Amino acid sequence: MAPANQDTALSPSDLVIFGGTGDLAARKILPALYYRLRDGQLPASSRVFILGRRPMERDAYLKRARKACERFVTEGDFSEKDWKRFASCLDYRAIDATKPAQYDALKKTLSRDPRPVRVFYLATSAELFGPISAALKEKRMITEGTRVVLEKPIGHDLASFRATNRAVLDSFREGQIYRIDHYLGKETVQNLMVLRFGNHLFEKIWNGDVIDHVQITVAEEIGVGERFAYYDSYGALRDMVQNHLLQLLCLVAMEAPPYITPDAVRDEKLKVLHSLRPMSAADVATHTVRGQYRGYRDDIGGGRSDTETFVALKTHIDNWRWSGTPFYLRTGKRLAERYSEIVIQFKPIPHNIFPHMKTFPETNKLIIRLQPDETVKLEVNTKVPGPGGYRLKPVQLSMSLAEEFGERIPDAYERLLMDVVRGNPTLFMRSDEVEAAWEWTEYLLTGWKKSGMKSRPYAAGGWGPKEAAQLLARDGLRWYEQR
Ligand code: BG6
């Protein structure tokens, strides 16, 4: 079955944002809605209700929202005219989300001229997902056209994920639940599927016979910032690896789905997660690295926290395609540079016909840069022109998305929010996927606990603890940027 047209303007909707005064709403949700309204995709008759605990007049809230949009909408894209149209959709309501009695006023407003689509976006901590879902059910606010959006990480471990998931499923059908992993909404991440399955070129070489290993890096320059309370009880494994990095790994490793339909794509990703090699505590000790940047403890207001702000690991996918091809993953805060990149490193040529060269020809690499400068590069060897015999030099065939298309690349949240409104869950995580990702993550959580592995300190502005480089060095490799 072919998917529906993705571009058309959508039905008017009622969007209700729980946790609407938080960081995520300011940085991502409001700017995303601003853009979609500006570009005519979100009809101006839509209503956006921002919910927070603190009583606030609408005008006072609008001042805050305007500040957020001025700051987080790209310079030059913010205009008085568009802001006025957007502001006319916005309203603010104070509510204690744990008290069903306080939902009555909102219910009344929503049932006055209800829009065909109703979205409850839970930008709150996962502990509130169950109670909010129960309150919405109790108050009969879940209509046929209702969808609920859950922010990651859902749960703190496998058991708490299962409990939260069950609680939400008590009120909503699986088909109404949109579990966000915003990496899936990034244009370049979607482009991974097009690169792999829209071109014939790669498929025959996309396996362990030809690919030596894969590196996935999500590096950030920022530290924990304002979110330290949340971050300190989660850490990089739960915050980034369990979701964003494993999703990227799935897209690199999965088989072609029959069509790009929601369940077909998610079935394939699930198979990858199920094929991830389990790790014993001894494997965890040798295959993973935990790090914490120097200054982290000051950033969280003191104490002796051991929470990791950096993870590097080596894993295998036990199936025919990837037999013998390790996947190296790493992510961290306060690193030298902000970028996300996937490096597909091919095997060396089987035989060198240029024996006079001092070094063996460089291996080919496909470098997919997801952000900030979205590019796809293929590194191939070429002859250095002129006399002097065959001198080989790796050069990059490079395609920059921005240069090629010359357009603003929309933020992931724009795409994902509109997918929720149009009812397309392809880029959202199904319950069994999140569960499988937690099942595998538990090997690391348990291994770290059993072996008492501590976070290694690393200098802010570097590339993490030296053990991360050693992880690859043991296999005769280096992280790509260290060349
Ligand atoms: C979020 C994490 O999911 O992703 C943050 O909770 C992290 O800790 C962020 O900073 C990174 O997202 P992006 O889109 O800036 O790479």
Q: Which residue has a Cα nearest atom 6 of ligand 1? A: 239
Judge if the beta carbon of residue 232 lies within 6 A of ligand 1: no
CA distance 342 to 126: 29
Give the pLDDT of residue 2: 40
Judge if the beta carbon of residue 220 lies within 6 A of ligand 1: yes
Reported pTM: 0.95
- Looking from the CA of residue 333, the nearest atom of ligand 1 is 10
State the sign of the Cα–Cα–Cα–Cα dihedral 314, 318, 321, 324: positive
Give the pLDDT of residue 226: 87
What separation in Å is there between the alpha carbon of 77 and the centre of ligand 1? Answer: 23
DSSP class of residue 143?
Answer: -
Q: Extract the tokens encoding 111.
A: 């049932």
Give the pLDDT of residue 359: 79
What separation in Å is there between the alpha carbon of 230 and the centre of ligand 1? Answer: 13
- Looking from the CA of residue 186, the nearest atom of ligand 1 is 14
DSSP string, 279-333: --HHHHHHHEEEEEETTHHHHTTSS-----SEEEEEE-B-STTTTT--EEEEEES
User: Phi then psi for 431, rounded to 5 degrees?
Assistant: -55, -45
Residues in CB range of 152: below 8 A, 6 or more apart: 179, 180, 181, 242, 243, 429
Q: Which residue has a Cα nearest atom 14 of ligand 1? A: 183
Give the pLDDT of residue 75: 87
Do residues 296 and 305 lie in contact, with contact meaning Cβ atoms separated by under 8 Å?
A: yes
The pLDDT tens digits along the chain (483 residues) read 444 445 568 989 999 999 999 999 999 999 999 999 999 999 999 999 999 999 999 999 999 999 999 999 998 999 999 999 999 999 999 999 999 999 999 999 999 999 999 999 999 999 999 999 999 999 999 999 999 999 999 999 999 999 999 999 999 999 999 999 999 999 989 999 999 999 999 999 999 999 999 999 999 999 998 889 999 999 999 999 999 999 999 999 999 999 999 999 999 999 999 999 999 999 999 999 999 999 999 999 999 999 999 999 999 999 999 999 999 999 999 999 999 999 999 999 999 998 787 778 999 999 999 999 899 999 999 999 998 888 899 999 999 988 888 878 899 999 999 999 999 999 999 999 999 999 999 999 999 999 999 999 999 999 999 999 999 999 999 999 854
Give the pLDDT of residue 137: 98
